[in-house]
Amino acid sequence: MNVSSLAGIVAGAARFISGVQASWRDGAPQARQSVFFANHTSHLDFVVLWASLPADIRARTRPVAAQDYWDRGLRRALAVNVFNAVLVPRSGEDRPRESRARSTIDRIAAEMGDDYSLIIFPEGTRGTGESVAPFKSGLYHLCLQKPSLQLVPAFIENLNRVLPKGQFLPVPLISRITFGAPASFDPLEPELVFLERMRDAVCGLRER
Amino acid sequence: MMPGHYGLDQKLLWACGGILGLLVVATIVGRVMRLAIKDPVAEGTIANLNQRIGSWWVMCAIFGLTLVVGSTGSLVLFGLISFLALREYLTLIPTRRADHHTLFWTFFIFTPLQYYLLSLKWLGFFIVIPVYGFLFIPAAMALAGDTQSFLERAAKIQWGLMICVYCLSYAPALLTLNIPGFGPDAKLLLFLVIVDQLNDVLQYVFGKLLGRHKIAPSISPNKTWEGFVGGTLSATAIGTALWWLTPFSLPAAAAISLAIALLGFGGGLVMSAIKRDLGVKDYGNLIGGHGGILDRMDSLIFAAPVFFHIVRFFYGS
Protein backbone atom coordinates (compact mmCIF):
# COMPACT_ATOMS: atom_id res chain seq x y z
CA MET A 1 0.00 0.00 0.00
CA ASN A 2 1.43 3.37 -0.89
CA VAL A 3 1.78 6.22 1.56
CA SER A 4 -0.90 8.49 0.10
CA SER A 5 -3.65 5.86 0.22
CA LEU A 6 -2.60 4.95 3.77
CA ALA A 7 -2.82 8.64 4.67
CA GLY A 8 -6.30 8.75 3.12
CA ILE A 9 -7.42 5.81 5.25
CA VAL A 10 -5.97 7.30 8.44
CA ALA A 11 -7.60 10.66 7.66
CA GLY A 12 -10.95 8.96 7.05
CA ALA A 13 -10.68 7.00 10.30
CA ALA A 14 -9.77 10.16 12.23
CA ARG A 15 -12.78 11.98 10.78
CA PHE A 16 -15.11 9.07 11.59
CA ILE A 17 -13.90 8.61 15.17
CA SER A 18 -13.90 12.31 16.01
CA GLY A 19 -17.12 12.88 14.03
CA VAL A 20 -15.49 16.14 13.07
CA GLN A 21 -17.56 18.68 11.21
CA ALA A 22 -15.26 20.98 9.29
CA SER A 23 -16.48 24.28 7.92
CA TRP A 24 -14.70 26.96 5.94
CA ARG A 25 -15.92 30.45 6.79
CA ASP A 26 -14.29 31.85 3.71
CA GLY A 27 -15.00 29.09 1.21
CA ALA A 28 -12.57 26.37 0.19
CA PRO A 29 -8.90 27.16 0.84
CA GLN A 30 -6.49 28.18 -1.90
CA ALA A 31 -3.71 25.76 -2.66
CA ARG A 32 -0.99 28.21 -1.61
CA GLN A 33 1.82 27.69 0.84
CA SER A 34 0.10 28.27 4.17
CA VAL A 35 0.35 28.01 7.90
CA PHE A 36 -2.74 26.53 9.54
CA PHE A 37 -2.81 27.53 13.19
CA ALA A 38 -5.37 26.72 15.86
CA ASN A 39 -6.13 26.59 19.55
CA HIS A 40 -4.62 23.55 21.31
CA THR A 41 -6.59 21.41 23.75
CA SER A 42 -5.88 17.78 22.90
CA HIS A 43 -3.29 15.38 21.50
CA LEU A 44 -5.79 14.75 18.71
CA ASP A 45 -5.79 18.36 17.51
CA PHE A 46 -3.27 18.10 14.71
CA VAL A 47 -4.60 14.74 13.53
CA VAL A 48 -8.13 16.12 13.22
CA LEU A 49 -7.05 19.41 11.64
CA TRP A 50 -4.89 17.51 9.18
CA ALA A 51 -7.72 15.05 8.43
CA SER A 52 -10.17 17.91 7.81
CA LEU A 53 -8.09 19.44 5.01
CA PRO A 54 -9.00 18.64 1.40
CA ALA A 55 -6.91 15.68 0.20
CA ASP A 56 -4.74 17.66 -2.24
CA ILE A 57 -3.87 20.28 0.38
CA ARG A 58 -3.44 17.62 3.07
CA ALA A 59 -0.78 15.87 0.94
CA ARG A 60 1.28 19.09 1.00
CA THR A 61 0.74 19.96 4.66
CA ARG A 62 3.05 18.94 7.50
CA PRO A 63 2.19 19.20 11.20
CA VAL A 64 4.82 20.37 13.64
CA ALA A 65 5.02 17.90 16.52
CA ALA A 66 7.08 17.38 19.64
CA GLN A 67 10.11 15.19 19.03
CA ASP A 68 10.25 13.69 22.52
CA TYR A 69 6.66 12.39 22.22
CA TRP A 70 6.58 11.31 18.58
CA ASP A 71 10.13 10.17 17.86
CA ARG A 72 9.89 6.56 18.93
CA GLY A 73 8.41 3.24 17.82
CA LEU A 74 4.98 3.14 16.27
CA ARG A 75 4.36 6.84 16.90
CA ARG A 76 7.46 7.66 14.88
CA ALA A 77 6.32 5.45 12.00
CA LEU A 78 2.95 7.20 12.04
CA ALA A 79 4.39 10.69 12.42
CA VAL A 80 7.03 10.29 9.73
CA ASN A 81 5.27 8.11 7.16
CA VAL A 82 1.63 9.13 7.45
CA PHE A 83 1.51 12.65 8.82
CA ASN A 84 4.91 13.61 7.39
CA ALA A 85 5.40 15.61 10.59
CA VAL A 86 8.24 18.02 11.27
CA LEU A 87 9.57 16.83 14.62
CA VAL A 88 11.09 19.55 16.75
CA PRO A 89 12.74 19.37 20.17
CA ARG A 90 10.88 20.83 23.13
CA SER A 91 13.69 20.63 25.69
CA GLY A 92 16.84 18.78 26.68
CA GLU A 93 19.49 20.83 24.89
CA ASP A 94 21.81 23.00 26.87
CA ARG A 95 22.15 25.89 24.47
CA PRO A 96 20.62 29.23 25.50
CA ARG A 97 16.83 29.22 25.08
CA GLU A 98 16.75 32.01 22.51
CA SER A 99 19.20 30.47 20.07
CA ARG A 100 17.51 27.07 20.41
CA ALA A 101 14.18 28.59 19.42
CA ARG A 102 15.84 30.32 16.46
CA SER A 103 17.43 27.12 15.21
CA THR A 104 14.08 25.35 15.52
CA ILE A 105 12.42 28.02 13.36
CA ASP A 106 15.28 27.74 10.87
CA ARG A 107 14.72 24.00 10.67
CA ILE A 108 10.97 24.33 10.23
CA ALA A 109 11.45 26.92 7.48
CA ALA A 110 13.96 24.65 5.76
CA GLU A 111 11.63 21.64 6.01
CA MET A 112 8.78 23.67 4.48
CA GLY A 113 10.87 24.54 1.44
CA ASP A 114 8.84 26.30 -1.19
CA ASP A 115 5.78 24.11 -1.30
CA TYR A 116 4.91 22.50 2.03
CA SER A 117 2.29 24.06 4.30
CA LEU A 118 2.40 23.74 8.06
CA ILE A 119 0.08 22.99 11.01
CA ILE A 120 1.11 24.68 14.25
CA PHE A 121 -0.43 25.42 17.64
CA PRO A 122 1.01 28.79 18.69
CA GLU A 123 -0.13 28.47 22.32
CA GLY A 124 2.71 25.97 22.65
CA THR A 125 0.89 23.80 25.16
CA ARG A 126 -2.54 22.23 25.53
CA GLY A 127 -5.13 24.33 27.35
CA THR A 128 -8.40 23.37 29.04
CA GLY A 129 -10.55 24.45 26.09
CA GLU A 130 -12.15 27.32 27.98
CA SER A 131 -9.73 30.07 26.96
CA VAL A 132 -6.97 30.48 24.41
CA ALA A 133 -3.53 31.27 25.89
CA PRO A 134 -1.28 34.04 24.47
CA PHE A 135 0.59 32.95 21.35
CA LYS A 136 4.30 32.15 21.48
CA SER A 137 6.57 34.07 19.14
CA GLY A 138 7.42 31.16 16.81
CA LEU A 139 4.68 32.09 14.34
CA TYR A 140 6.09 35.61 14.08
CA HIS A 141 9.67 34.49 13.48
CA LEU A 142 8.55 31.98 10.88
CA CYS A 143 6.70 34.77 9.06
CA LEU A 144 9.82 36.96 9.16
CA GLN A 145 11.62 34.23 7.26
CA LYS A 146 8.71 33.50 4.91
CA PRO A 147 6.65 36.70 4.68
CA SER A 148 4.46 35.52 1.80
CA LEU A 149 2.82 32.69 3.76
CA GLN A 150 -0.98 32.53 3.77
CA LEU A 151 -2.05 32.47 7.45
CA VAL A 152 -5.16 30.36 7.98
CA PRO A 153 -6.70 30.46 11.49
CA ALA A 154 -8.82 27.57 12.78
CA PHE A 155 -10.83 27.01 15.92
CA ILE A 156 -11.21 23.48 17.28
CA GLU A 157 -14.18 22.78 19.53
CA ASN A 158 -14.97 19.78 21.72
CA LEU A 159 -11.76 17.82 21.16
CA ASN A 160 -10.83 18.74 24.73
CA ARG A 161 -13.95 16.78 25.74
CA VAL A 162 -13.07 13.88 23.42
CA LEU A 163 -9.58 13.46 24.87
CA PRO A 164 -8.82 15.96 27.65
CA LYS A 165 -5.33 16.65 28.87
CA GLY A 166 -4.21 13.85 31.16
CA GLN A 167 -6.75 11.29 29.92
CA PHE A 168 -5.96 8.12 28.04
CA LEU A 169 -9.39 6.91 26.84
CA PRO A 170 -11.27 8.97 24.26
CA VAL A 171 -15.01 9.62 24.45
CA PRO A 172 -16.59 9.76 20.99
CA LEU A 173 -18.28 13.16 21.10
CA ILE A 174 -18.69 15.15 17.91
CA SER A 175 -16.05 17.82 17.45
CA ARG A 176 -16.05 20.81 15.19
CA ILE A 177 -13.33 22.69 13.38
CA THR A 178 -13.92 26.09 11.79
CA PHE A 179 -11.39 27.57 9.38
CA GLY A 180 -11.36 31.34 9.02
CA ALA A 181 -10.44 33.75 6.26
CA PRO A 182 -6.69 33.72 5.43
CA ALA A 183 -4.65 36.61 6.82
CA SER A 184 -1.27 37.84 5.65
CA PHE A 185 1.91 38.98 7.32
CA ASP A 186 2.92 42.62 7.55
CA PRO A 187 6.65 43.04 8.33
CA LEU A 188 6.03 46.52 9.74
CA GLU A 189 3.63 45.25 12.39
CA PRO A 190 5.16 44.88 15.88
CA GLU A 191 5.54 41.29 17.06
CA LEU A 192 3.08 41.48 19.94
CA VAL A 193 0.43 43.23 17.84
CA PHE A 194 0.79 40.57 15.15
CA LEU A 195 0.53 37.72 17.67
CA GLU A 196 -2.54 39.28 19.27
CA ARG A 197 -4.14 39.78 15.84
CA MET A 198 -3.55 36.10 15.03
CA ARG A 199 -4.94 35.03 18.38
CA ASP A 200 -8.05 37.17 17.83
CA ALA A 201 -8.50 35.55 14.42
CA VAL A 202 -8.62 32.13 16.11
CA CYS A 203 -10.89 33.20 18.97
CA GLY A 204 -13.27 34.96 16.56
CA LEU A 205 -14.16 31.59 15.03
CA ARG A 206 -15.62 30.25 18.26
CA GLU A 207 -19.31 29.47 17.76
CA ARG A 208 -20.58 29.62 21.30
CA MET B 1 -44.07 -20.30 11.19
CA MET B 2 -41.58 -22.02 13.46
CA PRO B 3 -41.16 -20.31 16.82
CA GLY B 4 -37.75 -18.76 17.32
CA HIS B 5 -37.24 -18.35 13.64
CA TYR B 6 -38.32 -15.86 11.08
CA GLY B 7 -37.28 -15.30 7.54
CA LEU B 8 -38.52 -14.05 4.25
CA ASP B 9 -42.16 -14.86 4.61
CA GLN B 10 -44.78 -13.67 2.18
CA LYS B 11 -46.29 -10.96 4.40
CA LEU B 12 -42.88 -9.43 5.11
CA LEU B 13 -42.23 -9.26 1.37
CA TRP B 14 -45.60 -7.59 0.75
CA ALA B 15 -44.88 -4.98 3.39
CA CYS B 16 -41.41 -4.31 1.98
CA GLY B 17 -42.92 -4.07 -1.50
CA GLY B 18 -45.43 -1.55 -0.16
CA ILE B 19 -42.62 0.58 1.30
CA LEU B 20 -40.75 0.39 -2.00
CA GLY B 21 -43.88 1.51 -3.87
CA LEU B 22 -44.36 4.40 -1.44
CA LEU B 23 -40.75 5.53 -1.96
CA VAL B 24 -41.16 5.42 -5.73
CA VAL B 25 -44.38 7.47 -5.54
CA ALA B 26 -42.79 9.96 -3.12
CA THR B 27 -39.75 10.33 -5.38
CA ILE B 28 -41.93 10.99 -8.44
CA VAL B 29 -44.09 13.50 -6.54
CA GLY B 30 -40.98 15.27 -5.25
CA ARG B 31 -39.46 15.52 -8.75
CA VAL B 32 -42.72 16.75 -10.28
CA MET B 33 -43.07 19.38 -7.55
CA ARG B 34 -39.54 20.57 -8.19
CA LEU B 35 -40.26 21.00 -11.90
CA ALA B 36 -43.77 22.40 -11.55
CA ILE B 37 -43.48 24.88 -8.66
CA LYS B 38 -41.32 27.90 -9.32
CA ASP B 39 -42.33 29.92 -6.26
CA PRO B 40 -39.09 31.10 -4.57
CA VAL B 41 -40.59 30.70 -1.08
CA ALA B 42 -41.66 27.11 -1.68
CA GLU B 43 -38.43 26.15 -3.43
CA GLY B 44 -36.49 25.73 -0.16
CA THR B 45 -39.18 23.49 1.28
CA ILE B 46 -39.28 21.39 -1.91
CA ALA B 47 -35.49 21.04 -1.99
CA ASN B 48 -35.61 19.89 1.64
CA LEU B 49 -38.46 17.50 0.80
CA ASN B 50 -36.45 15.91 -2.01
CA GLN B 51 -33.43 15.62 0.26
CA ARG B 52 -35.60 13.97 2.90
CA ILE B 53 -36.96 11.49 0.35
CA GLY B 54 -33.42 10.68 -0.75
CA SER B 55 -32.50 9.95 2.86
CA TRP B 56 -35.62 7.79 3.24
CA TRP B 57 -34.33 5.52 0.46
CA VAL B 58 -31.08 4.99 2.35
CA MET B 59 -32.80 4.49 5.73
CA CYS B 60 -35.34 2.02 4.31
CA ALA B 61 -32.59 0.11 2.51
CA ILE B 62 -30.51 -0.21 5.70
CA PHE B 63 -33.52 -1.13 7.86
CA GLY B 64 -34.83 -3.62 5.28
CA LEU B 65 -31.44 -5.24 4.93
CA THR B 66 -30.95 -5.72 8.67
CA LEU B 67 -34.51 -7.05 8.98
CA VAL B 68 -33.73 -9.69 6.37
CA VAL B 69 -30.42 -10.64 8.01
CA GLY B 70 -32.27 -11.60 11.20
CA SER B 71 -32.41 -10.52 14.81
CA THR B 72 -28.62 -10.00 14.98
CA GLY B 73 -28.87 -7.52 12.13
CA SER B 74 -31.56 -5.49 13.89
CA LEU B 75 -29.65 -5.59 17.19
CA VAL B 76 -26.47 -4.33 15.54
CA LEU B 77 -28.40 -1.63 13.68
CA PHE B 78 -30.21 -0.33 16.76
CA GLY B 79 -27.05 -0.64 18.85
CA LEU B 80 -25.30 1.60 16.34
CA ILE B 81 -28.26 4.01 16.28
CA SER B 82 -28.18 4.20 20.09
CA PHE B 83 -24.45 4.87 20.06
CA LEU B 84 -24.76 7.64 17.47
CA ALA B 85 -27.83 9.13 19.19
CA LEU B 86 -26.01 9.19 22.53
CA ARG B 87 -23.08 10.84 20.80
CA GLU B 88 -25.32 13.59 19.39
CA TYR B 89 -27.02 14.09 22.75
CA LEU B 90 -23.89 14.18 24.92
CA THR B 91 -22.13 16.47 22.45
CA LEU B 92 -24.81 19.08 23.10
CA ILE B 93 -25.05 18.52 26.86
CA PRO B 94 -22.62 20.57 28.92
CA THR B 95 -20.36 18.24 30.89
CA ARG B 96 -17.23 18.85 32.89
CA ARG B 97 -13.80 17.30 32.76
CA ALA B 98 -14.57 15.21 35.84
CA ASP B 99 -17.35 13.45 33.88
CA HIS B 100 -14.91 11.93 31.40
CA HIS B 101 -14.85 8.43 32.90
CA THR B 102 -18.61 8.38 33.41
CA LEU B 103 -19.10 9.32 29.76
CA PHE B 104 -16.70 6.58 28.74
CA TRP B 105 -18.82 4.07 30.67
CA THR B 106 -22.08 5.18 29.09
CA PHE B 107 -20.63 4.81 25.59
CA PHE B 108 -18.51 1.73 25.90
CA ILE B 109 -19.97 -0.31 28.76
CA PHE B 110 -23.70 0.39 29.22
CA THR B 111 -24.62 0.80 25.55
CA PRO B 112 -23.01 -2.45 24.34
CA LEU B 113 -24.14 -4.27 27.51
CA GLN B 114 -27.78 -3.37 26.89
CA TYR B 115 -27.70 -4.83 23.37
CA TYR B 116 -25.61 -7.80 24.44
CA LEU B 117 -28.18 -8.72 27.09
CA LEU B 118 -30.91 -8.35 24.47
CA SER B 119 -29.03 -10.74 22.19
CA LEU B 120 -29.17 -13.30 25.01
CA LYS B 121 -32.96 -12.75 25.07
CA TRP B 122 -32.57 -12.22 28.80
CA LEU B 123 -35.26 -9.99 30.27
CA GLY B 124 -32.66 -8.47 32.61
CA PHE B 125 -32.25 -5.87 29.91
CA PHE B 126 -35.28 -4.19 31.53
CA ILE B 127 -33.37 -3.29 34.66
CA VAL B 128 -29.70 -2.85 33.85
CA ILE B 129 -29.86 0.81 32.87
CA PRO B 130 -32.75 2.02 35.09
CA VAL B 131 -31.27 0.35 38.18
CA TYR B 132 -27.54 -0.18 37.80
CA GLY B 133 -26.85 2.58 35.28
CA PHE B 134 -28.99 4.97 37.28
CA LEU B 135 -26.99 4.34 40.46
CA PHE B 136 -23.60 3.92 38.82
CA ILE B 137 -23.54 7.29 37.07
CA PRO B 138 -23.87 9.53 40.16
CA ALA B 139 -21.57 7.21 42.15
CA ALA B 140 -18.83 7.44 39.53
CA MET B 141 -19.29 11.19 39.34
CA ALA B 142 -19.15 11.56 43.10
CA LEU B 143 -15.88 9.61 43.13
CA ALA B 144 -14.52 12.05 40.56
CA GLY B 145 -15.13 14.71 43.18
CA ASP B 146 -16.45 17.66 41.18
CA THR B 147 -19.62 18.93 42.90
CA GLN B 148 -20.45 21.90 40.71
CA SER B 149 -23.96 21.40 39.20
CA PHE B 150 -23.61 17.80 40.34
CA LEU B 151 -27.28 16.84 40.26
CA GLU B 152 -27.82 18.57 36.96
CA ARG B 153 -24.87 16.84 35.28
CA ALA B 154 -25.79 13.42 36.66
CA ALA B 155 -29.44 13.79 35.63
CA LYS B 156 -28.54 14.86 32.12
CA ILE B 157 -26.23 11.91 31.56
CA GLN B 158 -28.82 9.52 33.04
CA TRP B 159 -31.44 10.98 30.74
CA GLY B 160 -29.23 10.47 27.72
CA LEU B 161 -28.69 6.83 28.59
CA MET B 162 -32.43 6.33 29.18
CA ILE B 163 -33.67 7.84 25.93
CA CYS B 164 -30.86 7.01 23.53
CA VAL B 165 -30.12 3.51 24.72
CA TYR B 166 -32.79 2.12 27.04
CA CYS B 167 -35.93 3.38 25.30
CA LEU B 168 -34.62 2.78 21.78
CA SER B 169 -33.51 -0.76 22.61
CA TYR B 170 -37.17 -1.68 23.10
CA ALA B 171 -37.56 -1.63 19.31
CA PRO B 172 -35.27 -4.60 18.60
CA ALA B 173 -36.44 -6.15 21.90
CA LEU B 174 -39.66 -6.91 20.02
CA LEU B 175 -37.74 -9.69 18.28
CA THR B 176 -37.42 -11.54 21.59
CA LEU B 177 -41.16 -11.57 22.35
CA ASN B 178 -42.72 -15.01 22.37
CA ILE B 179 -46.28 -14.75 21.14
CA PRO B 180 -48.29 -18.01 20.94
CA GLY B 181 -49.26 -18.73 17.34
CA PHE B 182 -47.13 -15.84 16.08
CA GLY B 183 -43.65 -16.42 17.47
CA PRO B 184 -40.84 -13.92 17.78
CA ASP B 185 -41.35 -12.18 14.48
CA ALA B 186 -39.62 -9.28 12.75
CA LYS B 187 -43.00 -8.15 11.36
CA LEU B 188 -43.82 -6.73 14.79
CA LEU B 189 -40.79 -4.42 14.60
CA LEU B 190 -41.65 -3.57 11.02
CA PHE B 191 -45.23 -2.69 12.04
CA LEU B 192 -44.03 -0.40 14.83
CA VAL B 193 -41.50 1.37 12.61
CA ILE B 194 -43.95 1.80 9.71
CA VAL B 195 -46.74 3.28 11.86
CA ASP B 196 -44.37 5.41 13.92
CA GLN B 197 -42.38 6.83 11.02
CA LEU B 198 -45.41 7.29 8.74
CA ASN B 199 -47.06 9.19 11.59
CA ASP B 200 -44.06 11.56 11.58
CA VAL B 201 -44.22 11.94 7.81
CA LEU B 202 -47.99 12.45 7.73
CA GLN B 203 -47.92 15.00 10.55
CA TYR B 204 -45.28 16.86 8.53
CA VAL B 205 -47.30 16.59 5.29
CA PHE B 206 -50.64 17.63 6.86
CA GLY B 207 -48.87 20.40 8.76
CA LYS B 208 -47.26 21.77 5.58
CA LEU B 209 -50.49 21.53 3.56
CA LEU B 210 -53.14 22.59 6.09
CA GLY B 211 -51.26 23.78 9.19
CA ARG B 212 -52.74 26.98 10.64
CA HIS B 213 -53.03 26.63 14.43
CA LYS B 214 -49.83 25.97 16.32
CA ILE B 215 -50.02 23.42 19.15
CA ALA B 216 -46.93 24.50 21.04
CA PRO B 217 -45.56 27.71 19.54
CA SER B 218 -42.81 28.00 22.15
CA ILE B 219 -41.50 24.54 21.24
CA SER B 220 -41.93 24.10 17.53
CA PRO B 221 -43.39 26.31 14.80
CA ASN B 222 -43.95 23.19 12.68
CA LYS B 223 -46.33 21.36 15.02
CA THR B 224 -49.93 22.32 14.27
CA TRP B 225 -53.33 20.98 15.26
CA GLU B 226 -54.08 20.22 11.61
CA GLY B 227 -50.85 18.24 11.27
CA PHE B 228 -51.44 16.44 14.55
CA VAL B 229 -55.04 15.42 13.84
CA GLY B 230 -54.45 14.59 10.17
CA GLY B 231 -51.26 12.64 10.93
CA THR B 232 -52.68 10.75 13.88
CA LEU B 233 -55.88 9.75 12.07
CA SER B 234 -54.15 8.67 8.87
CA ALA B 235 -51.35 6.82 10.70
CA THR B 236 -54.00 5.02 12.76
CA ALA B 237 -55.86 4.12 9.56
CA ILE B 238 -52.66 2.77 7.96
CA GLY B 239 -51.78 0.80 11.10
CA THR B 240 -55.27 -0.68 11.16
CA ALA B 241 -54.98 -1.66 7.52
CA LEU B 242 -51.69 -3.43 8.34
CA TRP B 243 -53.26 -5.65 11.01
CA TRP B 244 -52.28 -8.71 8.96
CA LEU B 245 -48.62 -8.05 9.86
CA THR B 246 -49.40 -8.58 13.55
CA PRO B 247 -51.12 -10.91 16.00
CA PHE B 248 -53.71 -8.14 16.63
CA SER B 249 -57.38 -8.16 15.69
CA LEU B 250 -58.61 -5.29 13.52
CA PRO B 251 -59.94 -3.14 16.44
CA ALA B 252 -56.84 -3.92 18.52
CA ALA B 253 -54.61 -2.88 15.61
CA ALA B 254 -56.53 0.42 15.45
CA ALA B 255 -56.17 1.09 19.18
CA ILE B 256 -52.48 0.17 19.22
CA SER B 257 -51.75 2.26 16.13
CA LEU B 258 -53.46 5.22 17.79
CA ALA B 259 -51.27 4.69 20.86
CA ILE B 260 -48.12 4.60 18.67
CA ALA B 261 -49.18 7.80 16.91
CA LEU B 262 -49.92 9.67 20.15
CA LEU B 263 -46.70 8.52 21.79
CA GLY B 264 -44.73 9.41 18.68
CA PHE B 265 -46.17 12.89 18.81
CA GLY B 266 -45.24 13.15 22.50
CA GLY B 267 -41.69 12.03 21.76
CA GLY B 268 -41.32 14.61 19.00
CA LEU B 269 -42.61 17.33 21.30
CA VAL B 270 -40.31 16.42 24.21
CA MET B 271 -37.22 16.07 22.06
CA SER B 272 -38.01 19.42 20.44
CA ALA B 273 -38.36 21.03 23.86
CA ILE B 274 -34.87 19.77 24.73
CA LYS B 275 -33.52 21.27 21.51
CA ARG B 276 -35.07 24.65 22.37
CA ASP B 277 -33.56 24.38 25.85
CA LEU B 278 -30.12 23.69 24.36
CA GLY B 279 -30.54 26.40 21.76
CA VAL B 280 -30.09 24.19 18.68
CA LYS B 281 -32.25 23.53 15.64
CA ASP B 282 -31.23 19.93 15.04
CA TYR B 283 -29.39 17.28 17.03
CA GLY B 284 -26.91 16.74 14.23
CA ASN B 285 -26.53 16.55 10.47
CA LEU B 286 -26.03 12.86 9.83
CA ILE B 287 -29.28 12.36 7.88
CA GLY B 288 -29.58 14.77 4.96
CA GLY B 289 -32.74 16.92 5.21
CA HIS B 290 -33.82 15.41 8.53
CA GLY B 291 -31.05 16.55 10.87
CA GLY B 292 -29.41 14.11 13.25
CA ILE B 293 -30.25 10.52 14.22
CA LEU B 294 -32.12 11.81 17.27
CA ASP B 295 -34.30 14.03 15.09
CA ARG B 296 -35.52 10.92 13.27
CA MET B 297 -35.72 8.67 16.34
CA ASP B 298 -37.52 11.08 18.68
CA SER B 299 -40.95 9.52 18.14
CA LEU B 300 -39.68 5.93 18.31
CA ILE B 301 -38.02 6.64 21.67
CA PHE B 302 -41.45 7.12 23.19
CA ALA B 303 -43.43 4.64 21.10
CA ALA B 304 -41.13 1.60 21.30
CA PRO B 305 -41.18 0.90 25.08
CA VAL B 306 -44.94 1.32 25.43
CA PHE B 307 -45.67 -0.70 22.30
CA PHE B 308 -43.42 -3.47 23.64
CA HIS B 309 -45.20 -3.59 26.97
CA ILE B 310 -48.67 -3.48 25.40
CA VAL B 311 -47.80 -6.43 23.19
CA ARG B 312 -46.11 -8.32 26.02
CA PHE B 313 -49.00 -7.74 28.41
CA PHE B 314 -51.85 -8.65 26.05
CA TYR B 315 -50.22 -11.14 23.68
CA GLY B 316 -47.09 -12.52 25.37
CA SER B 317 -46.86 -16.08 26.60
Which residues on chain A are in Cβ contact (under 8 Å) with B279? 208
Q: How far is CA B96 from CA A94, A158, B99, B103, B104, in A?
A: 40, 11, 5, 10, 13
B308 within some domain = no
Which residues on chain A are in Cβ contact (under 8 Å) with B107? 171-172
B3 confidence band (pLDDT: 50, 70, 90): very low
B128 within some domain = yes
B30 within some domain = no
A65 within some domain = yes
**pLDDT at residue number A88:** 85
**pLDDT at residue number A13:** 82
Ranges A21-25, B74-78, B191-195: which has the least confidence: A21-25
Indicate if the pLDDT at residue A100 is higher than 50. yes
DSSP helix/strand/coil, A61: strand
Interface of B with A in 36-95 (CB under 8 A): 83, 87-88, 90-91, 95
CA–CA separation, B132 and B128 (whole Å): 5
B44 confidence band (pLDDT: 50, 70, 90): confident
Residue B104 distance to chain A (closest CA, Å): 6
Taking an 8 Å cut-off on Cβ atoms, the answer to whether B104 and A171 are in contact is yes
B189 within some domain = no
B111 within some domain = yes
Nearest residue in chain A measured CA to CA from B285: A21
A97 confidence band (pLDDT: 50, 70, 90): low
B268 touches chain A (CB under 8 A): no
Indicate if the pLDDT at residue A160 is higher than 60. yes
CATH code of residue A125 = 3.40.1130.10
| Residue of A161, A177, A207 to mutate when probing chain B, most B C-beta within 10 A | A161
A48 within some domain = yes
A114 within some domain = yes
- Residue A94 burial (CB count, 10 A): 5
Nearest residue in chain A measured CA to CA from B94: A161
Total domains in the fold of chain A: 1
B7 confidence band (pLDDT: 50, 70, 90): very low
A208 within some domain = no
A25 within some domain = no
Taking an 8 Å cut-off on Cβ atoms, the answer to whether A174 and B87 are in contact is yes
Total domains in the fold of chain B: 1
B105 within some domain = yes
Provide the domain limits for residue B150.
Answer: 72-176
A41 within some domain = yes
Taking an 8 Å cut-off on Cβ atoms, the answer to whether A172 and B107 are in contact is yes
B225 touches chain A (CB under 8 A): no
| Residue of A174, A176, A207, A208 to mutate when probing chain B, most B C-beta within 10 A | A174
Give strand pairing partners of B214: B224
Indicate if the pLDDT at residue A17 is higher than 80. no
DSSP helix/strand/coil, A208: coil
The average confidence (pLDDT) of chain B is 92
Nearest residue in chain B measured CA to CA from A171: B104
**pLDDT at residue number A114:** 87
Taking an 8 Å cut-off on Cβ atoms, the answer to whether A128 and B97 are in contact is yes
> Chains A and B: how many Cβ contacts under 8 Å?
30
ipTM entry:
0.78
pTM over 0.80: yes
Taking an 8 Å cut-off on Cβ atoms, the answer to whether A171 and B97 are in contact is no
Question: Out of B87, B279, B285, whose CB is closest to A173?
Answer: B87
| Residue of A16, A17, A42, A171 to mutate when probing chain B, most B C-beta within 10 A | A171
> Which DSSP string corresponds to chain B?
--TT-----HHHHHHHHHHHHHHHHHHHHHHHHHHH---HHHHHHHHHHHHHHHHHHHHHHHHHHHHHH-HHHHHHHHHHHHHHHHHHHHHHS---GGGHHHHHHIIIIIHHHHHHHHHTT-TTHHHIIIIIIHHHHHHHHHHHT--TTHHHHHHHHHHHIIIIIIIHHHHHHGGG---TTT-S-HHHHHHHHHHHHHHHHHHHHHHHHH--SBS-TTT-TT-BHHHHHHHHHHHHHHHHHTGGGSS--HHHHHHHHHHHHHHHHHHHHHHHHHHHHHT-S-S-SSBTTTBSHHHHHHHHHHHHHHHHHHHHHHH--
The average confidence (pLDDT) of chain A is 85
Question: Out of A19, A164, A169, whose CB is closest to B97?
Answer: A164
Which residues on chain B are in Cβ contact (under 8 Å) with A174? 87-88, 91, 284
What is the pLDDT averaged over residues B287-305? 93
A93 confidence band (pLDDT: 50, 70, 90): very low
B151 within some domain = yes
Reported as a single tens digit per residue, the pLDDT across B205-232 is 999 899 889 999 999 888 999 999 999 9
Ranges A68-82, A189-203, B168-182, B296-310: which has the least confidence: A68-82
Indicate if the pLDDT at residue B201 is higher than 80. yes
Provide the domain limits for residue A142.
Answer: 3-19+30-203
Taking an 8 Å cut-off on Cβ atoms, the answer to whether A171 and B88 are in contact is no
What is the pLDDT averaged over residues A17-29? 82
Share of chain B above pLDDT 70, in %: 97
